[in-house]
Structure 1
Amino acid sequence: MTAPSQVDYQDLLRVWREADTIPEIEHAWLFDHLLPIFGDPNGTTYEGWTLLSALAAQTHRLRLGLLVTSNRFRPPALLAKIAATVDIVSGGRLDFGIGVGSRPSWPSARREYEAHGLPFHDTAHAVGSLAEACTVIRRLWTEPEPFDFDGTYLQLTGAFCNPKPVQRPHPPILIGGRSGPTLRVAAEHADLWNIPGGDIDDVVRRSRLLDRYCTELGRDPASIIRSIHLPVSYDQPDITRDAIGEAIDAGFRHIVLGLSAPYPAGVARWVADELIATPARAASELSR
């Protein structure tokens, strides 16, 4: 995962092109913010979906997406069209990441809404509109005829998406977040669920809560892939390797490794050799 902020496009392109040649790296991600949330508050930040489409056209193998799209930024029907376009540009490699958007208590993220004239509704509105967005986006990707939608938060007349995404029935939906209400939405709509790493005990509790919500809905909890974002330490790779091991032991099979800029030369190969291959070799030796 390469946050597209406080960094140049050519540096991002370099890392993604390198990662695209390394089979051990299966997927690559950007984030979705409109202003910096770290570093220089007036520094560079690229619009996520535009950049993702450009990088999709410059790669051939990596699955790719945003971790995660803010449902507050774009009307869901427009977002469905954007995502379908990126899936086509990528040849069917999109993982569609979405979430409620930034926390109200996070001033550095909150300011981007005010700066772009975007409303910032309360949490109940954000979660309810996310559930409706997931419903509408899936229908736009799969239904062959226009339809109307009259929801609590979203009203559409003659909604239609053409062309459809390459992937059938639709691109995998990844929902990111840790709150109980978001986990309820994930239990209903997600193919993958992502949570930021940190306190592994809390991560495990959140995963169990997702299991419970799935059971209440009559859904097999194992049908949702567990995904976790872990920051990479270039200077102390053992810390990152230990975090990867803890996450795998906790049932997380989709590991997103967050790289910080500036990116060292050959960083993707370093990730494969030091953070992916080394733990795999150690696990193989332990199993003998």
Structure 2
Amino acid sequence: MSHPPRPRFGVMTAPSQVDYHDVLRVWREADAIPEIEHAWLFDHLMPIGGPPDGPTYEGRTLLSALAAHTRRLRLGVLVTSNRFRPPALLAKIAATVDIVSGGRLDFGIGVGSRPGHPLARREYEAHGLPFHDTAHAVESLAEACTVIRRLWTEPEPFDFHGACVRLTGAYGDPRPVQRPHPPILIGGRSSATLRVVAEHADVWNIPGGDIDDVIGRSALLDRYCAENGRDPASVTRSIHLPVSYDRPGLTRNAIGDALEAGFRHIVLGRSAPYPAGTARWVTDELIRTSA
């Protein structure tokens, strides 16, 4: 009888309403704790919580800095908004981070900010970025995954003429350290996004919440994988769970539910501020009691 893969735990530090050195402190602490295997940032250009005029760091730039200051953690952005950067540019950025980190990048990507969230929506107008409808955004995500993988792996320049992405003479050099390429994690819960996951992702991430809904979405992904001729077990199931310092039992229960549902990649997220010893507390109070 085969046993399920062991759970792999990580932490997420939202780089908003916080100082760079506080994020760096948490990541360095986590890097020294073997039970914490991965660490994540989010990708927003303005706050989506707390004072709307507070600081928010650009996620991909910050990730490269943290990659240079850590040695062991796998790392990524949960998830990169495909609406912010052209995919060929994003492929170049990601390859650079994989090199800086010595091959530790998990490449997280998603459709982009929730259209109904006013604090998420405003960052597009504030930065002169277009905000296309959902159908366009999902199609663009699928094309982005295709060209990013090709830029990481193809030995010759190529053209790509999709409905949303058009490239002429596209070529990626240097290549990522990881072969054939960094793992691709796609985040999202809509049925349209899950079809993209079934075709392109090595890892699928969903925000926690209603565990019955999470289980239903995972079953839907199984179906889409089967329709693609793909083994559903080839897509690792990942879940982001908020951490409560005041009520850690709630988080422990959520971890237990996620593990029982087959999610083996657990991201424990905490908003700023980050007290001293945050990573150690997460390890002692949540990971060691759940693994």
**TM-score bin, normalised by smaller chain:** over 0.9
Give the corresponding residue for 2:112: 101
Pick the aligned partner of 2:132 from 99, 121, 137. Answer: 121
Pick the aligned partner of 1:223 from 230, 234, 247. Answer: 234
The answer to whether residue 73 in structure 2 is matched with residue 62 in structure 1 is: yes
Matches of 2:220 and 2:177 in 1, distance apart?
Answer: 33
Map residues 1-288 of structure 1 onto 2, 5 A cutoff: 1-280=12-291
Name the amino acid aligned to 2:84. F
| 1:235 CA displacement | 1.1
Q: Deviations over 1:2-49 (max 9, x none)?
A: 000000001000000000000000000000000000001010000000
Matches of 2:223 and 2:197 in 1, distance apart?
Answer: 12
Q: How many residue pairs were aligned? A: 280
Matches of 1:279 and 1:50 in 2, distance apart?
Answer: 33
TM-score (norm 1): 0.97
Give the corresponding residue for 1:284: none
What SS class does the counterpart of residue 211 from structure 1 fall into?
A: helix
Structure 2: stretches of 5+ with no match in the other structure: 1-11
Structure 1: stretches of 5+ with no match in the other structure: 281-288
Matches of 1:3 and 1:279 in 2, distance apart?
Answer: 23
| 1:103 CA displacement | 1.7
Matches of 1:263 and 1:114 in 2, distance apart?
Answer: 30
Q: Deviations over 1:190-229 (max 9, x none)?
A: 0000000000000000000000000000000000000000
Name the amino acid aligned to 1:161. G
Matches of 1:279 and 1:207 in 2, distance apart?
Answer: 21
| 1:105 CA displacement | 1.0
Q: Give the 4+ runs in structure 1 shifted more than 3 A.
A: none
Structure with the largest fraction of helix = 1
What SS class does the counterpart of residue 274 from structure 1 fall into?
A: helix
**Superposition RMSD on alpha carbons, in Å?**
0.5
Q: Determine which structure has greater relative contact order: mean sequence separation of CA pairs < 8 Å that are 6+ residues apart, divided by chain length.
A: 2
| 1:91 CA displacement | 0.2
